[in-house]
Chains A and B, each alone.
Chain A
Amino acid sequence: MATAREMTVGVGAGAEQLDTTEMVLNIGPQHPSTHGVLRLKLKLDGERVTACEPVVGYMHRGAEKLFEVRDYRQILMLANRHDWLSAFCSELGVALAVERLMGIEVPERATWLRTALAELNRVLNHLMFLGSYPLEIGAITPVFYAFRERETLQAVFEEVAGGRMHFMFNRIGGLKEEVPAGWTTRARQAIGEVRRRMPDLDNLIRRNEIFLARTRGVGVLSAEQAAAYGVSGPVARASGLDFDLRRDEPYLAYGELDVPIVTRTAGDCHARFECLLDQVYVSLDLAERCLSHVDTLTGPVNTRLPKVVKAPEGHTYAWTENPLGINGYYLVSRGEKTPWRLKLRTASYANVQALSTLLVGCLVPDLVAILGSMFFVVGDIDK
């Protein structure tokens, strides 16, 4: 050829024959990296993602509609299931909303126990992602260490609530029953054990070169973007969005606790992972402090309820800092024993929306790293 031909590989059109056609690629609904049935509709130009549309709803169970035909005790059972990794915190939110509407004052001992258990639940949730996220990008070992710690804490939960995932320990007005004798001591021992062994997990992965190479600078979410999409929790705090309801609008006993907020500014996958990892240490400390305070308190852990629990006519909005972000509960009651409407605002749903901008421009190999670092539970997205 006499003349040199210029060709553009990538976005846009080159010569007619060299034009790379856009390909639509479906990730999911059944895909090992989506841990659940999240479907991503990607438009690819070669290896580069040009558009991403998260398609949600494959696991929709109509939780909000079910709430309308269940009484408040049964709602707790449903509420602890949409986000199966933070069951205690989810049932807590419903209980708080109903208690506020009914004007129930929760005994102090119950409040502090709830705070301790909520923080332990946060550790359980974070340990799950600390194990599964490295697994998704190829590091198989950390998950075993994460699950060893989870097992220790699950034993604590099982002793007190009888369940390992769906604790069903909250009730309207307090907790189901008093904790077994010596449980607070054993729980503190378990916390100490987890804290002692956390460096194993930490050393394995936090500064690992391969892990850094896969996550640092990948999938950067700016604070503005995070705020625009309503992203909350550790994902938002990794982008420098310093917002945590435990400090900014304290519920339970958080007002009396000094809650350190873990934030990062990088906003990349590694920052998100580090937020989770550091939050574990903070939550362990908080839980330990709560348990020590519980030992100084006496009295009941629940309140006497009428035979039929009816929230008076009205509406309220309770929000809590769940492990994955802000969960909101908008409760509208018409004075019946079931709510007229109970709207759920779940953290995962909002966090996943940011994927549509976050994934644009990234490469397919980075996709799994970004997807895993958004820390969502599909049940929590689809409700």
Chain B
Amino acid sequence: MTTPEKNGFPGKGLIKGLGITLKTMVSRAGTQQYPDVEPELPARSRGVIGLMESNCTVCMLCARECPDWCIYIDSHKETVEVPGAARARQRNVLDRFDIDFSLCMYCGICIEVCPFDALFWAPDFAYAEGDIRNLLHDRGRLGEHMAGVPAPPPHDPNGEPSKEESTAAKKGGAR
């Protein structure tokens, strides 16, 4: 079954291999000292989802659009008296906003559908747990993740600017 190479001498492969190993040995190692040095992750990195509670209007779009329904939202209605207004207004108040990261598929659909920009990706990834139940992050924990949310990277000048940039430009022009 073995067909010897025509232009090879015995042990050629071994010598070649050792040569490459030697080359790698004397070149700089690319090791990242992970637990001591945090990795530099790009801004779009999908690590964990942060919740900005003040932006949430309990519209439930995220919970409905989630492919595996890992977002749990409870709320109640409150009546707010606005001075000067004829009638009291109804307002949704968030009671519970949980994301079960043991179910989450990290697709980012919830963040995309959120019409009020209440959800954000943060690159933090170090939240492994010994107990699967602890992967259910409540709104307090999700709010803490907001601290790690980076500024979005600027778009390629050849492409279109981001939706936020163009609306900001429009608003600036109107003023």
Chain A interface residues (CB < 8 Å from chain B): 70-71, 73-74, 76-78, 81, 109, 141, 145, 148, 155, 158-163, 166, 168, 176-184, 200, 203-204, 207-213, 216-218, 294-295, 297-301
Contact = CB atoms under 8 A, between A and B. Distances in A.
Contacts of A203: 16-17, 19-20
B13 A208 contact: yes
Instruction: Identify the interface centre among B16, B106, B156: most chain A CB within 10 Å of its CB.
Output: B156
B159 A179 contact: yes
Nearest 7 interchain pairs by C-beta: A178-B159, A208-B13, A180-B153, A162-B44, A77-B107, A74-B67, A159-B42
Contacts, number: 123
Given A177-B162, A204-B16, A158 B41 contact: yes
Instruction: Identify the interface centre among B11, B44, B159, B161: most chain A CB within 10 Å of its CB.
Output: B159
A179 B162 CA distance: 10
Contacts of B153: 159, 180-181
A179 B42 CA distance: 12
B30 A148 contact: yes
B48 to A, nearest CB: 12
A163 B162 contact: no
Interface residues of B, number: 44
A159 B40 CA distance: 11
Given A179-B156, A208-B13, A300-B159, A166 B107 contact: yes
Contacts of B43: 180
Q: At the interface, is chain B mostly helix, strand, loop or mixed? A: loop
Given A70-B67, A162-B45, A166-B106, A183 B20 contact: no
B157 A212 contact: no
Contact of A109 (B16, B42, B106, B159): B159
Contacts of A159: 42, 44, 153
A298 B155 CA distance: 12
A218 B162 CA distance: 54
B84 interface: no
23 contacts: A71-B65, A74-B67, A77-B105, A78-B67, A109-B158, A141-B17, A148-B30, A160-B44, A162-B121, A166-B107, A168-B106, A176-B112, A177-B155, A179-B159, A181-B153, A200-B24, A208-B17, A209-B5, A209-B11, A213-B2, A217-B3, A294-B158, A299-B160
